[in-house]
């Protein structure tokens, strides 16, 4: 199980929270508008790419974790031993009961609450991104841009706090996380109309995602660390 340095985790959360504050400030402080022709298509394309990668990560979390060097080194011996102990790996959770708060049951099927929520949230953000950056359907956001940014900031904060909740509530908060990123980016762009501000926010969104991944890995490691059940997967 990958160990996350508490210092790195604390620093990432601190920078992320400061980033939320700066995003709100950008929506309040006037900025000089930059060239309009390519701003929205370029920024929109970057944001849509982030959403698409998020969809992929939500569908294939283990594969994406290995790409990011987050893959737990669970070998076949450990898995077989744990199966003999009455355990198995479902998706990327061990069905030992300790991860019951991490999953949600829908129509008799078990889903990772975080991955399901992030998938749905990324779909909503992707749709919003297409409508705002490539059509005029969402142009009205300019009339309530600051409330949109405030709402987005709250959704991002709740996305970080999802570790405190269980099951379907955890899934709902993960839906809000990517949608909050869209609200911040679109709401700020509608007011600032500045490509440099937009690029800063897209970089900030990537950092928020990185912090969200670190928090998730830390939570998984903590769950295994405090578990009293003998499990060979736990020691990986």
The CA–CA distances, whole Å, from 27 to 12, 65, 114, 125, 150 equal 23, 34, 29, 19, 9
Spans of all domains in the chain: 6-28+40-235
pLDDT > 90? residue 58 = no
Q: How far is the C-alpha of 220 from the C-alpha of 102, rounded, in Å?
A: 9
**Of 207, 167, 200, 163, the residue nearest 185 (C-alpha):** 200
Return the higher-pLDDT residue of 57 and 95: 57
What does pTM read for this prediction?
Answer: 0.82
Count the Cβ atoms, other than its own, within 10 Å of residue 202: 19
pLDDT score, position 159 = 94
- What's the mean pLDDT in 214-224? 82
pLDDT score, position 73 = 43
- What's the mean pLDDT in 209-233? 78
Residue 75 CA to its chain's centroid (Å): 28
């Amino acid at each position: 199980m990958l160990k996350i340095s508490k210092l790195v985790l604390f620093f990432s959360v601190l920078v992320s929270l400061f980033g939320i504050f700066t995003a709100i400030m950008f929506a309040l402080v006037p900025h000089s508008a930059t060239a309009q022709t390519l701003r929205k298509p370029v920024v929109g394309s970057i944001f849509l790419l982030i959403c698409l990668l998020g969809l992929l990560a939500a569908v294939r979390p283990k594969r994406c974790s290995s790409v990011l060097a987050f893959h737990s080194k669970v070998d076949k011996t450990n898995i077989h031993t744990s199966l003999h102990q009455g355990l198995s790996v479902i998706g990327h959770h061990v069905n030992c009961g300790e991860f019951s708060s991490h999953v949600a049951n829908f129509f008799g099927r078990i889903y990772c609450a975080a991955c399901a929520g992030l998938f749905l949230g990324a779909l909503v953000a992707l749709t919003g991104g297409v409508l705002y950056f490539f059509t005029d359907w969402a142009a009205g956001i300019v009339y309530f841009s600051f409330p949109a940014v405030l709402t987005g900031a709250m959704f991002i904060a709740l996305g970080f706090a999802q570790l405190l909740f269980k099951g379907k509530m955890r899934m709902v908060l993960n839906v809000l996380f990517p949608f909050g990123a869209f609200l911040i980016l679109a709401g700020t762009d509608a007011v600032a109309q500045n490509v440099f501000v937009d690029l800063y926010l897209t970089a900030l969104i990537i950092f928020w995602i990185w912090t969200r991944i670190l928090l998730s890995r830390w939570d998984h490691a903590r769950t295994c660390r405090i578990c009293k059940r003998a499990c060979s997967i736990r020691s990986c």
